[in-house]
Structure 1
Amino acid sequence: MRFRFKALQRMREPDELDTPTLLAAPRGWVALFVVMITMTGALLWVFTGRLPISVDAPGLLTMPGGTGLVQSPYAGVVQEVLAKPADTVTQGQPLARVEDASGRARVVSSPFTGQVVGFPVDKGQVVHPGTTVASVERTDANAGTGGGNDRDAMVAMVFVPAPRAAGLRPGQSVDLSVSTAPAGTFGLLRGRIESVSPYSLTSEAVSGLVGGDLAAHTYAGSSPPRLVVVRLLRTADTPTGFVWTSASGPPGRLSTQVSVTATINLGHQTPFNLLLGR
C-alpha cells in the first residue's frame, strides 16, 4: 500500500490543540454587523417613521354658487335662442322663446345671475317641461366676495367618496393639480378646506352643481360623494393671483369650469400603525 508523502508527514505531527480556531473570517463579521445595523434602523423606522396620509379626489374650479340648470317649464318648439355660451346673464333675463301647442310664445328666463357655460338646445328643437335649456355658472352667490364675474371668488368643488371623507375637516391643506396647467411645469395650486358636506350627495345634487348628468358621472363615480369646498390661497406674487407650489405658477389668469385632481393632506402616521390598520 502506498501513501502520499504529505499524508505520512501529517500523521507524524502531533495535534495542535493549543491553536485557536477561527469561527468566522473578518469579512463575515463585517457583513453581520451591517445586517444588524440595517435591521435596527428598519425597526426604529417602523415605530418612529412618519408616512403622509392623503386623500385624492376629482373636482373642478368654479364659483361658490356652482353651475345651475335652467329648465323649460313649457312644452313646445324653440323659436328663438336669446343667449350663447360665455354670455353673462342676469336674474330674469330671457334665454329662449318657446311656442307651445296653442301657438302661444313662452319665454324661458334665467332664475339667477351668472355666466352661460352650456346651451344644449337650438332653434326648432322640441322641448318638454324639465328639458334643460342652459347651464349657468352662478355668480349671484358672491355678494360678500366681490360679486359679478370676479375670478378672485373662485373655489374648487371636490367630490370625495363618502367612505374616504371621514377624516376631512375645515382648515386642512389641499394641493390641486389643474388640468390646464401641467403640474410638472407649473406646480400645484394650493388651498384649504372651507367646508365639508355633512351628508353624501345624490346624483341629482351633483348634476345641479356641475351642470348636467354627463359631467356628474365624472365626479360622482360609483360611490355617493361628499362635497368638499376648497378656498384657494391668495397672493399678489403670481400672475393667477393664487398660491402655487412653484415660484409663479402658470402665466395668465385661471378659468372656471376646469377639472382638477385634489390631494387632501390628512397628516402623518407611523408605519406600525399603518400595518395595524389604525
Structure 2
Amino acid sequence: MRFRKQALQKLEGPEQLDEVVRLATVPTWLVTGALLVIVAAAGIWAVTGEVVRAVRADGVLVHSAGVSGLDATASGQVAEVWVGPNQRVARGRPLYSVVDPAGKIRTVASPWDAYVVQWLVNEGELLQPGTRVADMERLDSPGDALQAVVWLPASYAPVMHPGSRVEVTADAAPQPVFGTIRGTVSSVGAFPESDASLRAFLGDRQDVGTLLAAGSVVRVTVRLDPDPESPSGLRWTKASPPFRLTSASRVTARFVIAAEHPIDWMLAR
C-alpha cells in the first residue's frame, strides 16, 4: 500500500514544465565533414559527369532497293484483282487480269519479289499503257536489307551526320521486352521534305500530318546492325523477337545530339 500511495502522490504533483530538456547534439565536425563530402561529390559530377541530350524521330522500315512503280503495258479493262496493299508477292505471282479491246483476257504477273506498298486500280477500271497500277517495294536486289527511314526535325539536321549511332524502337516489338535495334546513320537529307514528297514515299502507311505537325523535317536513313544468328536477323539490346519485322513497320529512332558537362551550364558555355 505504501508504494501505491507514493505513486498517487506523484500523479497529483504538478508537472515540471520549467525545467530545460537536454537534447543530444551532433558534433560540429561531423556536420562539416558531411557537407564537405556532398560539395566535393557535386563538384566532381559537374566536371566529369555528362547529361545526354537526345531527340526522337518517327519513321518506317523499308528495303534498301526502294519503291518501284508498276505501270500497265497495254490498254484494257481490269477484270479481276488478286492482291492488295501491304501484301508480299513472289515474282511470277498473278496480280490482276485485263480484258483487251479484242475481248481476250490477259493476266499480269509480278515482275519482282516485292512488297505491295499501294494498289491503285480497281476491278472495272479502264487502263491505258503507262497507267500506274501499283507502287511496289522490291525485295530481290543483291544485298537488300531492312533499313529505317525516319523524319528528323529540320532544326537538328546540322548536327546529324553519317556514322552517328542510333537506337531504333519498333512498335511491333515492345521495348521493355526486346530493347532497341542498334543502327548507324547512312544518309541525311539535304532539303526539308514537303507534304507531296512524304505522301509519295509513304502512301497510306503513315499519317503525314503528324510528321509535319511540329514543323519541317528531313529524311534520315539508318542502316540497322544485322545479326544472322537471331530470328529477326537484326541486333537487339535485350533479346530478339521470334519473328522478322516487315517492311512498313513503324519505328522510332533516338538520336544523341549532345553530351554536356553540368559545369558548362554554370559557366554559360
Residues 255 and 214 of structure 1: CA distance in aligned 2, closer, same or farther (over 3 Å):
closer
- TM-score of the superposed pair, with normalisation by structure 1: 0.68
The equivalent of 1:169 in structure 2 is 161
Check conservation: 1:69, 1:211, Cα contact below 8 A. Answer: no
Residues 214 and 45 of structure 1: CA distance in aligned 2, closer, same or farther (over 3 Å):
closer
Counterparts of residues 140-179 of structure 1 (less than 5 Å): 142-143=141-142, 145-146=143-144, 153-179=145-171
One of 221, 228, 246 as aligned partner of 1:255: 246
Check conservation: 2:154, 2:216, Cα contact below 8 A. Answer: yes
CA distance in 1, matches of 2:47, 2:41: 10
The equivalent of 2:60 in structure 1 is 60
The alpha carbon displacement at 1:82 in A equals 5.7
CA distance in 2, matches of 1:203, 1:182: 30
Check conservation: 1:116, 1:134, Cα contact below 8 A. Answer: yes
- TM-score of the superposed pair, with normalisation by structure 2: 0.70
The equivalent of 2:14 in structure 1 is none
CA distance in 1, matches of 2:44, 2:37: 11
One of 210, 234, 245 as aligned partner of 1:242: 234
* Alignment RMSD: 4.1
Q: 1:42 corresponds to which letter in structure 2?
A: A
The equivalent of 1:192 in structure 2 is 184
CA distance in 2, matches of 1:138, 1:71: 15
Deviations 1:83-129 (A, max 9, x none): 43315377xx9767699xxxxxxx999999732133365335799xx
Do structure 1's residue 204 and structure 2's residue 196 form an aligned pair? yes
Residues 155 and 275 of structure 1: CA distance in aligned 2, closer, same or farther (over 3 Å):
farther
The equivalent of 1:18 in structure 2 is none
3-state DSSP class of the match of 2:27? helix
CA distance in 2, matches of 1:168, 1:88: 36
The equivalent of 2:89 in structure 1 is 88
Q: 1:245 corresponds to which letter in structure 2?
A: T
Counterparts of residues 7-86 of structure 1 (less than 5 Å): 26-67=26-67, 80-81=80-81, 83-85=83-85, 86=87
Percent identity reads: 29
CA distance in 1, matches of 2:151, 2:132: 23
3-state DSSP class of the match of 2:240? coil
Check conservation: 2:160, 2:257, Cα contact below 8 A. Answer: yes
Residues 198 and 269 of structure 1: CA distance in aligned 2, closer, same or farther (over 3 Å):
same
3-state DSSP class of the match of 2:137? strand
Check conservation: 1:59, 1:261, Cα contact below 8 A. Answer: yes
The alpha carbon displacement at 1:255 in A equals 1.1
Check conservation: 1:80, 1:98, Cα contact below 8 A. Answer: no
